[in-house]
Amino acid sequence: MNDKSKLALAFILGAAAGAAIAYILTTEQGEKTIQDVKDAAGKLQDEAGDKLNKSRQVIQDIADTAERIITNLNEPRT
């Protein structure tokens, strides 16, 4: 298959895929699928935010512990 044939085939397949996706997304089932994807994305965003906040707290706890240890090491012993 030469380059022009490959290009034409790729164009036809791309156009067909685009048309199929457009058809599916404009149906009622497609609208439900879009909403499901949006809901899942929102849930993932919330979970990622929660994990980020927990990670920040763990890092802060580690930093606080390290600071206490260093402070204790620097205090004169009596």
User: On the CB side of 28, how many CA atoms lie within 13 Å of its CA?
Assistant: 0
pLDDT tens series, the chain, 78 aa? 788 888 999 999 999 999 988 888 888 888 888 899 999 999 999 999 999 999 999 999 999 999 999 999 888 876
Residue 25 to residue 16: CA distance in whole angstroms: 14
What pLDDT score was predicted for residue 10? Answer: 94
Asked if residue 50 lies in contact with residue 58, where contact means CB atoms within 8 angstroms, the answer is: no
Domain-wise residue ranges, the chain: 3-74
